[in-house]
Structure 1
Amino acid sequence: MNISMTRIQAILVKDYKEFSRNYAVSTMILLPLILAFLYNKTGASTINAYFLPINITFSMVTTYIQCCLIAEEKEKNTLRSLMLSPASLGDILIGKSLFVLIVTVVVLALSIFLVGYTPANLAILSVALLLSTVFYIALGTICGLFAKSIMEGSIIVLPVIFLFSFGPFALTFASTYPILKIAEWLPSSQLLLLAEALEGKYSMTDIIIPMVTFIVWSLISWFIAAIIYKKRMVD
């Protein structure tokens, strides 16, 4: 697969311009920041409180923005032109993801700062956050490829926002409803469990299991995104 940095950069700049013009999408970055600030002011100091703005960043910023940017391309019929251009699959997927990756990293950093969270092991947590970002971008890509417009994309992404943002709360009811234990394997839940483990004495297993979970979710999601993308090329 040929990768062209020039084409990737062109797609990145194009996404930035579309993002800056669409206030309905760009203002979404404020939600986790406001939530993190309010949590800090209320004195919340638990891991669950710290990671709610973080998980909301992944769903409301990463997935939502990626979904809407792709849906907008489809609505304007520019995605088809991009698919038929000399840009390869890698150029398009990387280019369409790079801008959202940058935005996510900035919003995550600000959210962590505003909520007052000081990770016990910043290096390990940073790797986990990066792997989670890759997964949520893939999720947004899948939602965007299914949507026909920004409005439809906003609706399609709602179940994703609910499931992955508030999935960890299902674990509190797992003792009553054992079926909810499956929520433990959600990336958002694994991220929370990893952060809790890092606060105390942790083993390699405590680190490896969440990391492998993130990677598996990401690989499956990007595989599905690539299949849907190729189907859209001949749609």
Structure 2
Amino acid sequence: MNVSLKRIQAIFIKDYKEFSRNYAVSIMIVFPIAFALLYRTEAGEQAAIYAFILNFSLAMLTSFVQACLIAEEKERNTLRSLMMTPASMLDVLIGKSALVFLISAAVLAFTTYLFGYETSNVMLLAAALGISILLYTAIGTICGLYSKTLLEASLSVFPVLIIFTAGPFALAFEEQYPFLEVLRYLPSSQLSELLVAMEVGAAAGELARPFIIISVWTVVLTIISFVLYKKRLMDQ
């Protein structure tokens, strides 16, 4: 499948203009920054609080913005036109994901700075955040493709926000409710485990396990987003 940088750039610029015009979507960049300022002086385990901010930000910013950008095109019937152009599936999905990825990366980096989180393994942290951004971008793509309107896309992200953000906290009750053990395998729970393990200086094997699980989630959901895009293309 051919990939055209010019087509990707054109889609990227188009999305940037739509993002900058839609204040209901672009306002989402404020929430991670606000949470970082709100919780940076809180007592307790820094890694656990930082993980909560990241999980909330990834769902509220990355997935929400991606879903809304795609659903807005569907609502205007411009996504159908885009699908009919010579642009390949990778051109469209990379072009529409690049903006969200860059915005998320910049906002999370600034959020990390404001919160004051420090780690000796910066490269692993950057890799984990990069993989997580791709994961939540895929989730946003799926939500956007399943939605017919911007409002539906906004609502479809809230289950993601609730489950992925609350999942790590629900594990505190797994002794009373053993079925909650399944929440340990959520990417948000694994990101929390990874940050806590980094904070206590865990061995490489303990750090690799959550990173691998997050990566598997990312690959599976990205494939699902590709399949769903192809299905929508055939439905047209």
TM-score (norm 1): 0.96
Deviation, 1:42, is: 4.1
Following superposition, the deviation at residue 173 of structure 1 comes to 1.1
Residue 60 of structure 1 aligns to a residue whose secondary structure is helix
Q: Which runs of 5+ in 1 are unaligned?
A: none
Number of the residue aligned with 2:95:
95
| Counterparts of 1:23 and 1:207, CA distance in 2 | 39
**Aligned residue in 1 for 2:157:** 157
1:49 CA displacement: 1.3
Paired residues, what number? 235
The alpha carbon displacement at 1:177 in A equals 1.1
Match of 1:46 in 2: 46
- Tell me how far apart the structure 2 counterparts of residues 29 and 190 of structure 1 sit (CA, whole Å): 24
Q: d(CA) in 2 for partners of 1:202 and 1:46?
A: 16
Give the corresponding residue for 2:231.
Answer: 231
Residue 200 (1) aligns with residue 200 (2): yes
Deviation per CA, 1:162-204: give whole Å up to 9, x if none: 1112211111111211111111111111111111111223222
Equivalent pair of 2:47/2:199 in contact (CA under 8 Å):
no
Query: C-alpha displacement at 1:44, in angstroms?
Result: 5.5
Please name the residue that 2:122 is paired with: 122
Deviates more, 1:109-118 or 1:81-90: 109-118
Q: What is the aligned partner in structure 2 of residue 83 from structure 1?
A: 83
> Cα 1:199–1:43, aligned 2, differ >3 Å: closer, same or farther?
closer
The answer as to whether partners of 1:11 and 1:95 remain within 8 angstroms in 2 is yes
Q: Relative to structure 1, is the Cα distance of residues 129 and 155 closer, same or farther in structure 2, using a 3 angstrom cutoff?
A: same
Q: What 5-or-longer segments of structure 2 have no aligned partner?
A: none
State the AA in 2 paired with 1:222. T
**1:223 Cα deviation (Å)?**
1.3
Aligned identity (percent) is: 47
- Report if aligned partners of 2:46, 2:117 keep a CA contact under 8 Å in 1: no
CA shift at 1:119, angstroms? 2.1
Give the root-mean-square deviation of aligned CA atoms: 1.2
Aligned residue identity for 1:71: A
User: Where does residue 174 of structure 2 map in the other structure?
Assistant: 174
- Cα contact 1:57–1:107 (8 A) shared by 2: no
Deviations 1:93-152 (CA, angstroms, capped at 9, x unpaired): 100100000000011111111122112311111111111111110000000000111111
Aligned: 1:110 with 2:80: no
Quote the Cα distance in structure 2 between the aligned partners of 1:170 and 1:54. 17
